Structure formats: C-alpha cells, structure tokens
Structure 1
Amino acid sequence: MTGLLALVLVLGAGAPGASADAASDDPTHPGPVYKTVTDKSAKLSLQTFGRPDGKDMVFRISGSVYANIEGNSLDPALRHGQKLFNIEGYNIRRLYRAPGTNQLYQLSREIVFYTDPADPQRIAREWRNPVDGKTYPVVPINNDAVNFGPFPISSSYVGPPLQRLHDETVWTSDIPVRTNFGATLGERFGLVGGVYVAQEMFDFSVDDREVAARTKPGVPSGAMKTKISWARTSPWAPFMCLAETETRGQLTYHARSWSLNSYADIEPWLRAEVEKNHPLYKAAPSAPGASENSWTSFRNKQLRQGAVTWANWCAANGRG
C-alpha cells in the first residue's frame, strides 16, 4: 500500500447500541454527523472509514507480493510470477469530526511487514537483489499518517453503487495512481520520468445480517464486519534498489483484509513486533495532518526528508 492507501476493515463488531447513540461532549465525535446519513450505501461505506462511535478500528492485511516481468526478461535471476514476499500488517483508523462542522475525516496509520515467502510470520529483515547480487535491508510499509477528508456529511450524502451477490452486499473502488515524485519531491527513485504509476483495486463485502444491523437509524457501536480483496500493480519497492529505468518489471500485490474491533484483537506475534520497533502504530492519529505513502515515507524516514538521495542510500546499504 502506498498509503494506500490504505485500506483495512473490521472483525468482531458489536451490534448497534443505544449507548452509542448518545451525543458525546467531545466536539470531534463523529456520531452526531453520522446520524444524519440516510443512504444505505453511504452508511456502509462510512463504516469502512472508521467506527461511528469514534473509537479506533483495524483493518488487518494479509497477502503476497509477486514479480511481474514483461517477457520474463530477467529469467533466471528473477522469474515472472515469482513470489518474493508475504505481507502481514494492518491499518488502524478512526472517524474524526472537525469541531462544530458536518465535516468528517478518516485518520489512520498503516504498518505492513514484508515477510518470508515461505513463512508469513517470519519478518524479512533483508533481501538479496538477484539482479545486482547485493543484499539490502527490508523497509516495511510504515505510513504515518494516511488521512482522507474532509467529507461534508448530510442527509444527501450517498455512497458507491452496491451489488448483491448471494448473501453479501459488495462494492468496488479502483484507483489509478499517478504522482510525479521528480517534480514534487526532487527525487526520481529510478522511476521512468520520475513518475510513480500504479493501479489499486479493492472489493468490499458485507453479509446480509451485518448490513441489516449496521444500516438501522442511530449510531452503531463497534466495527462493521467487512472483508476486502486488494490488488496493486506498482513499481519495485524503494528498498529493493531496482531502478525502473534499468530493470524492466514491477510488483503485483494480492491480499485480503478484514476488520477488527481494536488494536487488541491483532495477533500477539504481530503486536509484539509493533510494540518493540513501531509503537506509534498502536493507535490512529488524533487530528488531521499530512499523509504519507510508501514512497514519501521512505523519503522522510530513510532519506532523511531528501538529505540523502535514493541512489546514495542504495550504494550505502547494499552488501556485496
């Protein structure tokens, strides 16, 4: 995820509760604004942005990353379709109301680890680049923050088109991404023309019982039980030190995501890694601010906000 976006939903949600219906004294509480929404699709989609009761929720992410190489041109060093990593992590998010307005934000952080292709729970600390023969440190997706909004919310607010498949309601979000990092950051990352291009594709699904429970009047408590399928085609990750201009190919991410009620519901092995090395990602941001994606995060944290070039980072960190 490039800040991807981001994207993650909730398991183990509670049914709508009367206690959650009461307006909070907190002027940032999303409930009073959420209550004005009448469109079914809008209610469902907003509950993927965050819990209407204002608490943190999690979208757990689990999947794989493959080499996508036109003409299999790097074989045998790097084969088309070769599984390079598993990915395991989450996005932690909340709905935030701009005080005194009908404007809502989605505030989130996301941490996703590249893990051993044969063992999803073994975090990859380094990766041998088969093209140049050097070994590089693996940098997880660690975007602080991934924020969207503000969204003006009223009774006329509507969501995406819905489709009924068997006993589930589904909707999609397909996002073509194009960002000129050469122009905006002054860093080309070895990309063609310094331009990052990717395709992000999401499918959301919620079963009939959950749809009925979550679209009643009032403010639901807990997180909506949601499943997501996510796919992304994008350039080589920055830590791989493969220049798109020189090494033909890209990455394909294919993952599943599901909602959890809170950070406490994440598996112990994953929480242990976060608490040891990335404790910031235990909670969503408390207020709107600038967003990151995988590339701007790498620049901010690894390249010290541009004090080091990507080429120099690769030269300094590659072991022969």
Structure 2
Amino acid sequence: MPKRRLTAPVALAALFLALTAPASAAADGRTTDATLPGPVFKTVTDKNALLSLQTFGRPDGKDMVFRISGSVYANVEGNALEPGLRHGQKLFGIEGYNIRRLYREPGTTKLYQLSREIVFYTDPADPTKILREWKNPVDLKTYPVVPINNDTVNFGPFDVTPSYAGPPTRRLHDETVWTSDIPVRTDFGSTLGERFGLVGGVYAAQEMFDFFVDDREVAARTVPGKVPSGAMKTKIAWSRTSPWAPFMCLAESEVRGQLTYHARSWSLNSYADVEPWIRAEVDKNHPLYRSAPSAPGASENSWSSFHTKQLHKGATTWASWCAANAG
C-alpha cells in the first residue's frame, strides 16, 4: 500500500499534537488527565469553598509549596527545668516547606490533598544554619537532630459537588481570613507498639492555623466556572503545642513539659521558588521531597515518621535509639 504524504498544515498539526500532548502529561508526572482537579473545581460556586480548595493545591493540578519559617520554644510548667531548660527558651528555628497538589479520584468528584513536608531544625541564632546535633540540657548528652520529614501528609477525599461549601470566613481590613484548629490525639502505644516516653503512650497536640488572602486575590480566584492557574497568594499563621520531639530523647512522662511551635507560612508556585540554600539540602539529602505524591496513601507525623525511618518500623525501640545515639 503506498504511503500517504501529509500536507504542510496537516503535518504541522500532527507535530504540534505529538509534542504538546505527551509533554504536558510528562511535565506534570501524570499518566492521565483523569486525576486533574480542574473539571470538578469548575463546578463549585461557593466563594469560601473556592478559597479553601486553593489552599489544598493548585486548581490546575500541578505541585505548589507552602514555605514554613518560625521558631520552637520550651513550654515548662512552673519553670521546673531551670537553669538548664528555661520556660520560654527558644530552642530551635524551623525552616522548610510542604509540597502539595490536588488529586481527583478518576471518574468521581472526590478530591484529595496529597503532600510531603520537610522542615529543618535550625540554629536559634541563625535560621539558615541547619542543626545536625543538639545537646540535651537535661541529661547533658548530644543527639542527632532529625528534621520533620513526613512522607506523606494526605487529606481527603472531599466530595466536591456544586454544593460544596467552605469554612466560615471574616473580612479584616483588606483580607479574607479563616481558621482551622485541630486537636490531635494518637495512641502510639497501641497503633505502633512504641510509647516514645509519652504519657500513657498517647501523643496529644494542638494544631492551629489562620489563613489570609487579600481582596485582589480573592476577586481574581473566585470567579465561578473558571480554573485559575498557579498557586493562590496565601499567608498562614501556624502554632502547635506538642510533646518533646522524639530526637530530643526527653520522656514526657518523666520530664514534664512541651514544645510550642510558632511559624509563618506562605504559598509558592513550585519547588523551584524555594530558596537555594534549602533546595541544596533537599537535593543532596532528601530528594523525595522535591515533589508531591502521585496517589493517595497513608499519612505520617514526626512520631510515626521517626518510627519508620529511625526505629525501622519497630526493629529497635525509642529508648534503645536514644541510648545508641547519645554522645
């Protein structure tokens, strides 16, 4: 059968399709457009819902980043650990990010937020100096510092129908503001078989978030039926009260006290927008955290991550890790 010759316009069209369709999928790391959130996002009419969904991820389905920067303080009842560990003492800086995207379960209106987060503990006097070890002022031993490295942190599914509604908001000056306060309680003694020195083996914490979006951004990104591109310009205030971090090797049941995290966060379009000094550390030692997960899965926090990566899923105990790593 003789070969058919393509006319110039047809050849150019074929070349364009060959270049753009596969490249688009490859650039996003997606194998199918069925996971992209845009078609579902377009059906939402509630303004607060449109704002809230855009903190979960970009409506175009690409990765976005929430950069995190702040400090960690000792919260010690009655200042009982002075002079070694003073109530209100700034113990660490924290610098890092959460990288996330919106994922649609194919063939449904269900959306997930898929993310990973890497946050480094830094010198309290120099936020760009990542700490590799920390001297415990209670037992005077030095331990390796383990960053917050949670793979993954996922939420959902959210059934995003046209009637999907967002959280209540308030307008303060020229910004729209809303809050998310999350009490956390997990019995690690039961779920992991590791108590981490926690009272009753139970991790109890309080996570508190405030979101801020200015009027111009609200107007641009809440047009019904429109799928905005890029990440919504969002600021977040974040606080957390939680037990001593596991690498500190302080048993909450014996050394009464907690940590208070106080940080600011702001949206970035992509990993490429993170400062070079953080990317250099991630590229060298934590390359997994350069992108969001590709599909839903189980979530981690600092304690379950420590159990997986440092305790090798229970092959050793927290007490044994602390003894082996005390310098």
Determine the structure 2 residue equivalent to 1:241: 249
Q: Which runs of 5+ in 1 are unaligned?
A: 1-23
1:75 partnered with 2:82: yes
CA–CA separation in structure 1 for the residues paired with 2:38 and 2:325: 48
Larger Rg: 2
Counterpart residue number, 2:297: 289
- The residue identity in structure 2 corresponding to 1:92 is I
Aligned position for 2:316: 308
2:219 maps to a residue whose letter is A
**Deviation for aligned residue 1:25:** 6.1
User: 2 CA distance for matches of 1:234 and 1:30?
Assistant: 34
Partner of 1:274: 282
Hey, what does 2:231 align to over in structure 1?
A: 223
Match of 1:147 in 2: 154
**Matched pairs, number:** 296
Shift of 1:236: 0.1
1:56 aligns with 2:63: yes
User: In structure 2, what is the equivalent of residue 20 of structure 1?
Assistant: none
Residue 184 (structure 1) aligns with: 191
Per-residue Cα deviation, 1:179-223 (whole angstroms, up to 9, x for no partner): 110011100000000000001000000000000000012101000
Any residues of structure 2 matched to 1:1-320 within 5 Å, and which? 26-217=33-224, 218-319=226-327
Higher relative contact order (Cα pairs below 8 Å, separated by 6+ residues): 1
For 2:241, the aligned partner's letter is T
Q: 1:25 to 1:176 in 2, by over 3 A?
A: closer
Q: State TM-score, norm by structure 2.
A: 0.90
Q: How far apart, CA to CA, are the structure 2 residues paired with 1:193 and 1:145?
A: 26
Give the Cα–Cα distance (whole angstroms) in 2 for the partners of residues 67 and 95 of structure 1.
Answer: 35
State the match for 2:3 in structure 1.
none
2:22 corresponds to which residue?
none
Runs (4+) of structure 1 exceeding 6 A deviation are none
Give TM-score, length-normalised by structure 1: 0.92
1: distance between equivalents of 2:72 and 2:121?
Answer: 9
Percentage of pairs with the same residue: 82
The match for 2:20 is: none
**Structural RMSD (CA):** 0.8
Name the amino acid aligned to 1:298.
F
Distance 2:185 2:79 in 1: 25
